[in-house]
Structure 1
Amino acid sequence: MKKFKPRPGFVALAHKLALDPNATAERRLYSHGGAARAAYNWAVAYVTSVWWQRKAEQSYGIPEDQLTEWRSWSLPSLRKAFNEDKRTNPRFAGWWEENSKEAYNTGLAGASAAFDNYAKSRSGRRKGRKMGIPRFKSKRKARLTCRFTTGTIRIEPDGHHVTLPRIGRVRLHENAFRLRALVDAGHMRILSATARLDRGRWFVSFQVEEKHELVKVARPDAAVGIDLGIKTLAVLADSYGVLSEEPNPRHLDRAQKQLRRASRTASRRRGPDRRTGRQASKRWEKANQARNRIHHRVANLREDTLHKLTARLASEYGTIVVEDLSVASMGRNRRLSRRIADAAFGEIRRQLTYKTRRHGTRLVVADRWFPSSKTCSRCGVVKTKLPLSTRVFECDNCGLVLDRDANAGHNLVALAARTTGTGVAGDLDNAPVAESKPRGADRKTRTTRPTPQGRDGAGR
């Protein structure tokens, strides 16, 4: 899928709104999400069946030129094959016409992207962890989603309803008067809508082309260094020497007692078993829903806390300095993994990335090996060792005694001045970058032999 390029003066954004569907709209939403899952599973079976067939034929000694031909997993090829098969396939007979074509296109597009990621991962052209062969989506565990790109997609004039193709008019949980006003003024154009079941309720996300208007920050000449941690979520040190702390609410820790009780209740019920094919009992389903509600509440509280923190920082400071933390490696510590996941360091940096871009301010990312905690913020002497158990920094050269996180915050905000020449927000394209060593630069990338299956199944 080609990346959308907005018109000059416009930016591509997404607005996520919660839905309050009635029984009819909710049934149609579930039907469209299930249709997308069925189309995805059909595409996985359609492509992989030839793989196993060729493997079996090779074991029989059949020559290479006489093997079954590869099947392409490109989206146009999958869409053409699906349209030819849906009328005769017993899995879709009698109900495929009930849903929009966009539902099936959503599943086919997801399968095409999954096979692309698998091929790129095998050939070493994709960063990150190694991707396996796409697997079937379970009916009980799959995330229901459907993306609409054609048809009637609009926000109603009353601001309390949206209209989606084949689903109809759906009530919003919140008002969208501001978005409707932008559409009426010609400052926003809706490109697509994605309905998704997330944390037990339905949401709709509008991908829009919106007129870009910079909002001036409160203190454009000020810079702030952010040192993230577990005991304190963030220690903030600005360029004027002011220190402040953001306490860590620890939402997951506070819910542990409720989670243990809900998990014990679910463990006493007859749950599903994939090995024997046993279906879950109604009492287990009810207990599992109660447990999921606790997880959903924790996730909602965490999301609210992080959005408030990052929005306040992005709207106040002209320059923000954060560390390039290896969150995946930190999560391997079995003593701290739960608290690190609850703090969501990676999500904080992700939100700051797009929110600073929205305000036109700078986000400086310190090098992963920058010794922010070991460096004295007064004289600049670097300690050789500073274990995590030492929470107070003591300089052997100048005698500075300071909290470890506060010292790191001062060093980070000083890095902004050294990087840009001043602490003032500047142009990212013309300013030096603090990341002198990107992630993984100290290791040689391991590559594997490319697979014979390409996008069209024949290495092309």
Structure 2
Amino acid sequence: MSTVLQAYRFALDPTCAQETALRSHCGGQRFAFNWGLAQVRANLDQREAERSYGVTGEQLTPAMSWSAYSLRKDWNQVKGEAAPWWGENSKEAYSSGLANLATALTNWSSSRAGMRKGSRVRFPRFKGKRAPLSCRFTTGAFGLVDTDRRHVKLPRIGMVRTHESTRKLARRVAAGTARIRSATITFRSGRWFVSFSVEVERTDPAPTLPESVVGVDLGVKSLAVLSTGEVVPKPKHLEHAQRELRRLGRQAARRQGPDRRPGQQPSKRWRQTQARIARLHAYVANARRDGLHKLSTRLVRSHTVVVVEDLNVAGMVRNRRLARHIAGVGMGELRRQLEYKAGGSGRRVHVADRWYPSSKTCSGCGVVKAKLRLSERTFVCESCGMSIDRDLNAARNLAALVEASSPSCGATENEPDGNPCQTRTMRATGTATGRPAPGAGQRRHREASTQDTFVDVS
């Protein structure tokens, strides 16, 4: 028995008055985020200006704490003057905006100090009115309605009808195996959604299938090639919608759009065209997600071990010739679905190392080629003479990693999402990076430069 966090998302059908209230709450969260960010930036700029004049130590302006508790405390003291209309929305709208700001500042500070993995996190920016609408509720009267399974309850907004039934979550809550922690409302592609973060008690079942390993090689020509020889064709949802998207883009260009310089407001027809473009993009995304769900579910149900690659999708989409095709596959989404579905069904997911040469290695004799161009779709081994499709060869090499599981094989079980490398200031020194280790003086200078400004004082 284990407790996991699981999200349940439902589409909403709010009335006109409820939609206005939802937009007001999302606007309140954005306003609180921008207000807190302005206070933090003013404090940091003031301290930086004082240092430029030679002011140091205790003579500097006291550093502002950017913890969620401190930001809420400061907001409650000035909310009457900063936002006289604050009583129109739930207090959770402003608290969630300040909590998001505290998380963003902490991530930036940790990344700047070299204590956060992944790419460098930049300083938070102000959110404009065109930013995605969202608001989170953690306290108050929210959840499912007991009388039926077609409504949800939100603070200050009331009961909102759902576009689909909530029976799956309602049954778990009634049985006592689920507890709703928070509710997040979002507006995406012309539709409102509510997502519940739920603590679910789950019993991990023991594997009932015989040991079965499958390697999955994702590509652009086909969605996936399995080590069993099966080729999953690539669905061309985005390609089929390109003609309509181009036509709607030309139509929007002929109509009056927004312009900030003269304060020009968009026309009604321009808004209608943009809504049609958003709906078409939503259709493509839903169709892509549905195909990935079907594939990931079938793999988890048919095999006990699934081996995938740790692909650098963010770097792959920099190729302008292949960016649209790579983005249309959804490589990162497939890995995410495999990992959470395998965890709930007693299966295992192994992630091969990013630098493992699965395509250059011969699946027959194990010889690694020095160079293999992307245009070479057939792998020909110069040592044993084997000729095989390059994607099938890569999938078989991935499946063989589990059989030869060792610290040097490059396969790890259920690695967390994201780039496994740390930020540049915390990379390993010596032969791993080709750079010498910093001396004691350099380390002291680095610590002194990040001690005051970039460390969270909460």
TM-score bracket for this pair, using the shorter chain length: 0.7 to 0.9
In structure 2, do the counterparts of structure 1 residues 278 and 220 end up closer, same or farther at CA, with 3 Å as the change threshold?
Answer: farther
Which consecutive residues of structure 2, in runs of 5 or more, have no partner in the other structure?
A: 423-427
In structure 2, do the counterparts of structure 1 residues 198 and 417 end up closer, same or farther at CA, with 3 Å as the change threshold?
Answer: same
Query: 1:376 Cα shift?
Result: 2.1
Q: Does 2:452 align with 1:452? A: yes
Q: Does 2:21 align with 1:32? A: no
Please tell me whether the aligned partners of residues 17 and 203 of structure 1 are also in contact (alpha carbons under 8 angstroms).
yes
Q: Does 2:218 align with 1:225? A: no
1:135 counterpart residue number: 125
Query: 1:399 Cα shift?
Result: 2.6
Q: Secondary structure at the match of 1:197?
A: strand
The one-letter amino acid paired with 1:376 is C
Please tell me whether the aligned partners of residues 218 and 316 of structure 1 are also in contact (alpha carbons under 8 angstroms).
no
Q: Does 2:383 align with 1:394? A: no
Query: 1:52 Cα shift?
Result: 2.8
Cα separation, 1, equivalents of 2:93 and 2:420: 39
Q: Does 2:310 align with 1:317? A: no
Q: Secondary structure at the match of 1:351?
A: helix
In structure 2, do the counterparts of structure 1 residues 342 and 218 end up closer, same or farther at CA, with 3 Å as the change threshold?
Answer: farther
Match of 1:414 among 388, 391, 400: 400
Q: Does 2:326 align with 1:340? A: yes
Cα separation, 1, equivalents of 2:326 and 2:413: 30
Please tell me whether the aligned partners of residues 117 and 420 of structure 2 are also in contact (alpha carbons under 8 angstroms).
no
In structure 2, do the counterparts of structure 1 residues 33 and 376 end up closer, same or farther at CA, with 3 Å as the change threshold?
Answer: same
Cα separation, 2, equivalents of 1:10 and 1:68: 46
In structure 2, do the counterparts of structure 1 residues 264 and 415 end up closer, same or farther at CA, with 3 Å as the change threshold?
Answer: same
Alignment of 1:13-162 (within 5 A): 13-57=6-50, 65-89=58-82, 92-93=83-84, 95-139=85-129, 141-157=130-146, 158-162=148-152
Q: Secondary structure at the match of 1:312?
A: helix
The CA deviation string for residues 159-180 of structure 1, in whole angstroms up to 9 with x for no partner, is 2111122221111111122321
Please tell me whether the aligned partners of residues 217 and 314 of structure 1 are also in contact (alpha carbons under 8 angstroms).
no
Cα separation, 2, equivalents of 1:115 and 1:224: 42
- Give the alignment's TM-score, normalised by structure 1: 0.86
1:4 counterpart residue number: none
Give me the CA root mean square deviation.
2.8
Which consecutive residues of structure 1, in runs of 5 or more, have no partner in the other structure?
A: 1-7, 422-426
Q: Does 2:3 align with 1:10? A: yes
The one-letter amino acid paired with 1:254 is H
Match of 1:285 among 271, 274, 282: 271
2:364 counterpart residue number: 378
Q: What fraction of aligned residue pairs are identical, expressed as a percent?
A: 49
Please tell me whether the aligned partners of residues 220 and 319 of structure 1 are also in contact (alpha carbons under 8 angstroms).
no
Number of matched residues? 432
In structure 2, do the counterparts of structure 1 residues 105 and 349 end up closer, same or farther at CA, with 3 Å as the change threshold?
Answer: same
Query: 1:456 Cα shift?
Result: 5.3
Query: 1:117 Cα shift?
Result: 1.6
Please tell me whether the aligned partners of residues 41 and 137 of structure 1 are also in contact (alpha carbons under 8 angstroms).
yes
1:424 counterpart residue number: none
Q: Does 2:317 align with 1:331? A: yes
Q: Does 2:167 align with 1:177? A: yes
Q: Does 2:200 align with 1:202? A: no
The one-letter amino acid paired with 1:352 is L
Query: 1:428 Cα shift?
Result: 5.5
In structure 2, do the counterparts of structure 1 residues 304 and 287 end up closer, same or farther at CA, with 3 Å as the change threshold?
Answer: same
Cα separation, 1, equivalents of 2:38 and 2:413: 47
In structure 2, do the counterparts of structure 1 residues 208 and 116 end up closer, same or farther at CA, with 3 Å as the change threshold?
Answer: same
